[in-house]
Amino acid sequence: MRIGTKRKFGLAHLLFKGISQEALGKIGIAIIILFGVMALVSPFVINIDPDVYDPLIGVDPLIFSSQGPTLTHPLGTDHLGRDVLSQLLKGSQIAFLVGITVGLMATLIGTAIGLISGYFRGATDSLLMRITDIILSIPSLPLLIMILCVFEHRGIWVIVMVLGLTGWPITARVIRSQTLSLRERPFVQSARVSGASDWRIILIHIAPNVLPLTFLYMTIGVTYAILTEAGLGFLGFSDPTISSWGMMLQWCFSTGHTFKALYWMIPPGLSISLLALSFYLVGYSLEREINPRLREP
Amino acid sequence: MAVLELKSLEMSYKTQEGTVRAIDGASLRVEKGDTVGIVGESGCGKTSIGLSILRLLPPNATIHGGQILFKGQNLLSLSGKDMRRIRWKNISMIFQAAMNALDPVYRVGDQLIEALVEHQNLTKKQASDKMEAVFQLVGLDPGRARNYPHEYSGGMKQRAIIAMSLICDPDIIIADEATTALDVLVQDRILASIEKIKAEFSMTMLYISHDIAVISEVCNKIAVMYAGNIVEHGDTMSLFKAPLHPYTQGLMHSFPKIHGKLERLEGIPGEPPRLTDSSPGCRFFPRCQQSLKKCNSIRPEFKEIEENHWVACHATRRSL
Amino acid sequence: MGYLVNRLIMTVITLFVILTVTFTMFRLMPGDPSVFFISPQMSTETIARIKAQFGLDQPIHKQFTNYLGSILHGNFGHSFFYKRPVLEVIGERLLNTIVLFLPAAIISYLVGVGLGRYMAWKRGGTSERVLIFTGLSFWTFFVPWLGLLMIWVLSYKFGLFPVGGMITPDKWLPGSTLLGRALDLLHHLVSPLVCYVLTWFAGNMLIMRNSMLETIGEDYILTVRAKGLSERKIRNKHAARNAILPVVTAFSMSIAYSIGGCVLLETVFSWPGIGRTMVDSVLLRDYPLAQASFILIATVVLVANLITDILYAYLDPRIRY
Ligand SMILES: Nc1ncnc2c1ncn2[C@@H]1O[C@H](COP(=O)(O)OP(=O)(O)OP(=O)(O)O)[C@@H](O)[C@H]1O
Ligand SMILES: [Mg+2]
């Protein structure tokens, strides 16, 4: 039962409206779909001939150095003769995997902490917000490098976990301040008077109202995750058993092909930037829907 | 010559629901030394009149008719730059939302001085002397001028705003609900200060309020506003003794008489019309108990019925 | 004052947390934690001596206090690779990073605030839309890739700027003038700096724009307009002055994220800063150097945060007391 829970923005309605009304939101969705298709197509491409098209171990037997685009290798090959396009498609899968998982994890943690902090206030709030501040002021990329340096094992899941566990502070702050104002609203007050438990109020009355914001910060979290994982890959600290976009760029850079093989240097960097941008554009359109003051008059 | 005169002013806001005709024919005259009260229900367009005079309306508003004469000069035809010179120096305004009317990041005294140096060539010393003088005038300790707005109480902020409105010795002050947000005790004290200052300097004021008790206390003339129209305008005494417009009559009945004992409140049945609707007739027609046939189709003219007493009503004219 | 004392205490606590995390991490490291101070090439006796000297034979809590004590004295151990005290290696690198990071931070802030202010004041129109799209695009640009593109265009194609590095040694020989050296440094600084600013300004710009839009609706803006102030004064002295407050807060929060850009940029542009030192030392398994680099990077962030917080207190009288 919802006692007077006035939901100004149904999430689905809001997503639809926010994204469909803004040109930038549409561009964002289009890019996401494009890369989504790439991620789905990836296994089929590899299956054409895994010996040639596997992004890591498939080597064209006729090629021993990086070569420009040909019919069999539309984006050319890397220095070992591996197919760049195939790596790029696989990279799309990894980017989605990392981005979405980290985004979900970070926003879930951030939202939970924000709700608890804002609802209970007092000592709980102070403690949680101090922790948030501390995590916020630890530089995440260097921290990740140190952690990966210590754990000899650099699985992609270690990266995902660390990103997810450190990426929540901004969400927590925003959700907290929203919760602080929501808890004073009449419908929450009346729920409290009618004897609903704290957790019930948080879950049933407050949480649905912060959902749009949660979603907004999730898109930002996805952007953050994609860029940071790519950064780690570029520095050579990502999972060596996969071909992420960051790794591709690193191979290109560290073997000195940066300016010799643009067909190899452009695609991974462009993909990272575009996919990061697309999620941000979706978030940006949503923000304008949530906060009408930002729209044009 | 009147200090300020409005001649059938018309103004509207563009909104998503349509055009809100917030002022739909407002005429009014403020002579030197007068305090003219504009009284009317919430949403009838009082603030809009004040903002129109200073030409501070939001971008979605347009003035599309009438004149605003300041000492005979039409403010609506001035360039932006000339209008800027008149603001505060000649016409200052106390805003309805006084609690947030001061910029939080500057010292209160400096905000007063800012207005002064914008319009007059003064040395620092002269400016701060003047600032301290107006502080004292409104009953504020000049020592507090170095404080920031958040260190002031609501009443003090209101006094500071009044001091600010006085600082350039304007020809007329527009006070929009100058005391409404305050509690009754503070309200009384501030009203008393205003009275004192008015008497001392023979200030000219346009005093906007929905509270007819306050208006009757402060003002020597009243303009009654209903749904964007000024329907009656005249001396406080004659309006109280013999209100002519049916709306004024109802209004006077809705408030306890100032002198004499409390009477039973006698409201006016019905609701004010939505300002987006435009009918050719009198806007009070749907609620009027004295209406005539033509009231629904012909807008009554705003006529001087007796000396210095204007009314816009078909019924009134007939009864005379 | 309460606010600043508060911030100071928080900074110290955060530093303590960072030191603890670092300490713990290196204990968790596979193998003997003594690698932390000891290079593999040393003889067994030396190792034993050093172990005793650094108290590695002592209980863990004792080790922790020793560790804290030596770090607070600037003793980060010996670099395996450079065979010198870590601090000697790193001191100069830290300065190099600051030479890049500080101007980048200031310019990003100023450009962002300036553009955001302009956008909010001139609502709508193509210029706003173009700025938003450009800003968002740069904001999410993959930093190293942008760096590579810039090197490709500016250095490789047009030869306008050096491909990387911080100085041309020839121009720093004894006898070279100060001006010559400064110009050389500047010449090397331009590309990484521009790259940094491009990827950083948009955050400030968008927040400034939003904050300005909120501020313009405030009652006190109506008051200053009624006071007859010019539009320029209203915008700069009142609207923007209030609108920058949230920008400063957000800026402070973005520093920790943005320093990650330093690590990436320094690698791309071969800038001999502390970020690149950290990456290299991790790859070389030079643990003392890696640890010290991390602690110093974190400290730079903390100090930068503290400075912005002080600035904030100065800008907002409601906090000051
Ligand atoms: N910026 C605006 N945009 C659209 N409509 C507006 C705007 N400002 C005021 N209005 C409308 O214009 C009408 C007159 O408003 P105004 O503020 O002048 O009333 P008021 O008499 O001052 O009311 P109150 O006593 O509540 O202050 C109202 O119907 C209001 O809804
Ligand atoms: Mg009003």
C62: in domain: no
Residue having the nearest C-alpha atom to atom 29 of ligand 1: B43
Interchain contact B100–C (C-beta under 8 A): yes
pLDDT at C56: 64
Using CA coordinates, name the residue in chain A closest to C208. A294
**Nearest protein CA to atom 7 of ligand 1, as residue:** B13
**Which-ligand-closest: CA of B22?**
1
H runs (alpha helix) in chain C: 2-28, 44-53, 60-72, 86-121, 125-139, 143-150, 178-216, 219-226, 231-233, 241-268, 274-283, 287-315, 317-320
Q: Which ligand is nearest to the Cα of residue B273, counting in written order?
A: 1
Locate C63 and state its tokens.
Answer: 């080790």
B161, part of any domain:
no
Beta-carbon neighbour count of residue A198 at 10 Å? 11
Candidate from A57-66, A247-256, C281-290 with smallest mean pLDDT: A57-66
Query: Are the C-beta atoms of A279 and C134 separated by less than 8 Å?
Result: no
Separation of alpha carbons B163 and B144, rounded Å: 13
Q: Ligand 2: distance of its center to the CA of B201 in Å?
A: 27
Q: Whose CA is nearest to atom 28 of ligand 1?
A: B43
Chains that touch C (3 or more CB pairs under 8 A): A, B
* B297 neighbors B281 (Cβ within 8 angstroms): yes
- What is the 3-class SS of A31-53, one letter each residue? HHHHHHHHHHHHHHHHHHCHHHH
Give yes or no for A134 touching C (CB within 8 A): yes
The span from the CA of A270 to the CA of A262, in Å, is: 11
> Mean pLDDT over residues A242-263, rounded?
88
Which among C108, C177, C190 is positioned nearest to C147, based on CA atoms? Answer: C190
Residues B290-297: contacts with CB under 8 Å, at least 24 apart: B290/B246, B290/B315, B291/B315, B292/B318
- Chain C hits for A276, CB-CB cut-off 8 Å, are 140-142
User: Best mutation site among B6, B24, B39, B46 for ligand 1, i.e. most ligand atoms within 8 A of its Cβ?
Assistant: B46
**Do the chains contact at A231 and C144, CB–CB below 8 Å?**
yes
Pocket of ligand 1 (CB under 6 A): B 13, 15, 20, 22, 40, 42-48, 58, 60, 96, 210, 275
- ipTM of this complex prediction, to 2 decimal places: 0.88
> What global pTM score does this model have?
0.87
- Tokens 């990061």 locate to A276
- Which parts of B245-308 fold into alpha helices (H)? 246-254
Please state, rounded to an integer, the average pLDDT across all residues of chain A: 85
Residue among B93, B97, B119 whose CB faces C226 most closely: B93
Whether residue A10 contacts residue A215, with contact meaning beta carbons closer than 8 Å, is answered with no
Count of structural domains within chain C: 1
Q: Would you place residue C28 in the very low, low, confident or very high pLDDT band (cuts 50, 70, 90)? A: low
Strands B221-226 and B35-39: parallel
Atom of ligand 1 nearest to the CA of B225: 21
Atom of ligand 1 nearest to the CA of B41: 25
Give me chain C's average pLDDT, please. 87
Q: Can you list the positions of beta strands (E) in A219-286?
A: none
| CA distances in angstroms from A138 to A35, A280, C69, C266, listed in the order given | 32, 23, 21, 19
- Best residue in A24, A137, A174, A232 for a mutation probing chain C (most C CBs within 10 Å): A137
pLDDT tens readout for residues A204-229: 888 888 888 898 899 999 999 999 99
B267 in any annotated domain: yes
Give residue A280 CA to ligand 1 midpoint distance, Å.
Answer: 38
B202 falls within a domain: yes
Ligand 1 pocket test: which of B19, B48, B225 has the largest number of ligand atoms within 8 Å of its C-beta? B48
Q: d(Cα A186, Cα A202) in Å, to the nearest integer?
A: 14
B115 touches chain C (CB under 8 A): yes
pLDDT at A109 over 70: yes
- Distance (Å) from the alpha carbon of C144 to chain A's nearest alpha carbon: 8
Confidence of residue B96 (pLDDT cuts 50, 70, 90): confident
Taking an 8 Å cut-off on Cβ atoms, the answer to whether B95 and C226 are in contact is yes
Q: In this structure, which ligand is nearest to the CA of B15? A: 1
Query: Does residue B160 sit within a domain?
Result: no
Query: Per-residue confidence at C39, pLDDT binned at 50, 70, 90?
Result: low
Task: Return the structure tokens found at A121.
Answer: 């206030």
pLDDT at site B297: 81
Taking the CA of residue B58 as reference, the ligand 1 atom at the shortest distance is: 1
Q: Is residue C250 part of a domain?
A: yes
pLDDT in the model for residue A6: 44
Name the residue among A136, A139, A270 with its Cβ closest to that of C253. A136
Inter-chain residue contact A137 with C25, CB threshold 8 Å: no
Report the pLDDT value the prediction gives residue B266, as an integer from 0 to 100.
Answer: 53
For residue B273, how many C-alpha atoms fall within 13 Å in the half-sphere facing its CB?
21
Q: What is the dihedral of CA C67, C73, C79, C82, to 10 degrees?
A: 180
Neighbouring residues of B203: CB distance < 8 A, sequence distance ≥ 6: B33, B35, B173, B197
Q: How far apart are the first and last CA of chain B?
A: 29
pLDDT digits (tens, 9 = 90+) for B146-172: 999 999 998 899 999 999 999 999 999
**Cβ atoms of residues B155 and B186 within 8 Å:** yes
Give C208-251 pLDDT, tens digit per residue.
Answer: 999 999 999 899 999 999 999 999 999 999 999 999 999 999 99
The whole domain housing C146 covers 97-273
C36 assigned to some structural domain: no
Q: State the Cα–Cα distance between residues C150 and C264, nearest whole angstrom.
A: 14
Chain segment C90-145, per-residue pLDDT in tens = 988 999 999 999 999 999 999 999 999 999 888 777 888 888 899 999 999 999 99
C-alpha count within 13 angstroms, C-beta hemisphere, residue C302: 22
* DSSP letter assigned to residue A154: -
Cβ contact, residue pair B103, C317, below 8 Å: no
Residues of B in Cβ contact (< 8 Å) with C316:
104-105
Alpha carbon separation from A284 to A18, A107, A269, B49, C254 (Å, rounded): 9, 17, 22, 39, 18
Task: Summarize pLDDT for A190-203 with one digit per residue, the tens.
Answer: 888 888 888 999 98
Whether chain A has a CB inside 8 Å of the CB on C256: the answer is: yes
B295 domain residue, yes or no: yes
As a whole number of Å, the end-to-end CA separation of chain A is 38
How confident is the model at residue B255, as a pLDDT? Answer: 64
Q: Distance from CA of residue C123 to its chain's centroid?
A: 33
CA A238 to ligand 2 center in whole angstroms: 62
Residue B43 belongs to domain with CATH number: 3.40.50.300
Distance B179 CA to ligand 2 centre (A): 12
In CATH terms, the superfamily for domain A21-52+76-290 is: MetI-like (1.10.3720.10)
**CATH code assigned at C171:** 1.10.3720.10
Q: How confident is the model at residue A297 (pLDDT cuts 50, 70, 90)?
A: very low
pLDDT reading at A45 higher than 50:
yes
Q: Between residues 151 and 180 of chain B, which touch chain C (CB distance below 8 Å)?
A: 151, 161
Chain C residues within an 8 Å CB radius of A139: 256-257, 259-260, 297-298, 301
Q: Is C127 exposed, middle or buried (0-12, 13-18, 19+ CB in 10 A)?
A: exposed
Q: Is residue C257 part of a domain?
A: yes
Q: Is C279 part of a structural domain of the chain?
A: no
Q: How confident is the model at residue B214 (pLDDT cuts 50, 70, 90)?
A: confident
Nearest C-alpha of chain A: how many angstroms from C175? 35
Contact across the interface for C318 and B150, Cβ inside 8 Å: yes
Half-sphere exposure of B20 (CA within 13 A, CB side): 16
Average pLDDT over residues C80-96: 88
| Residue C197 in this model has a pLDDT that exceeds 80 | yes
Mean pLDDT of A165-176: 92
Confidence band, pLDDT 50/70/90 cuts, at residue A10: low
Q: How far is B267 from chain C (nearest CA, A)?
A: 33
Residue nearest to atom 16 of ligand 1 (CA): B45
Which of C127, C313, C117, C289 is CA-nearest to residue C201? C117
Contact residues, chain C, for A253 at CB < 8 Å: 144, 148, 268
Contact B70/C at CB under 8 A? no
Identify which of A28, A10, A8, A31 has the alpha carbon closest to the alpha carbon of residue A285. A28
pLDDT at A23: 82
What total number of domains does chain B contain?
1
Q: pLDDT confidence of A259, banded at 50, 70, 90?
A: confident
Q: Is the pLDDT of residue A9 over 70?
A: no
Contacts of C13 in chain A (CB under 8 A): 130, 134
User: Taking CB atoms and an 8 Å cutoff, what residues of chain C touch B86?
Assistant: 228
Pocket test for ligand 1, best of B16, B42, B47, B283 (most atoms within 8 A of CB): B47
Query: Minimal Cα–Cα distance from C122 to chain B, Å?
Result: 12
Distance from C124 to chain B by nearest Cα, in Å?
A: 13
Ligand 1 center to B43 CA (angstroms): 5
Please state the φ and ψ torsions of residue C269, each to the nearest 5 degrees.
-95, 15
- The number of beta carbons lying within 10 Å of the beta carbon of residue C42 is 13
Q: Are B62 and B186 in contact (CB under 8 A)?
A: no
Please name the residue of chain C whose CA is at the shortest distance from the CA of residue A265.
C145
Position with higher pLDDT, C55 vs A222:
A222
Structural domain of residue B198, as residue ranges? 4-90+170-312
Mutate to test the pocket of ligand 1, among B20, B176, B224 (most ligand atoms within 8 A of CB): B20
* Residues facing B223 on adjacent strands: B38, B233
Chain C: residue nearest A295 by CA?
C124
Has residue B118 been placed in a domain? no
Which of A95-99, B270-274, B297-301 reaches the highest mean pLDDT? Answer: A95-99
C292/C84 Cα distance (integer angstroms): 13
The atom of ligand 1 lying closest to the CA of B23 is 14
Q: Do A260 and C152 form a contact (C-beta atoms < 8 A)? A: no
Question: What is the C-alpha to C-alpha distance for residues C190 and B128, in angstroms, rounded to an integer?
Answer: 48
Structure confidence at residue C146 as a pLDDT band (50, 70, 90): very high
Chain centroid to CA C188: 19
| Three-point CA angle A127, A130, A135, nearest 5° | 125
Find chains touching chain B: ≥3 CB pairs under 8 Å. Answer: C
The CA C122 to ligand 1 mean position distance, Å, reads: 25
* Measured distance CA(A238)–CA(B197) in Å, rounded: 76
Q: How far is CA C149 from the centre of its chain?
A: 22
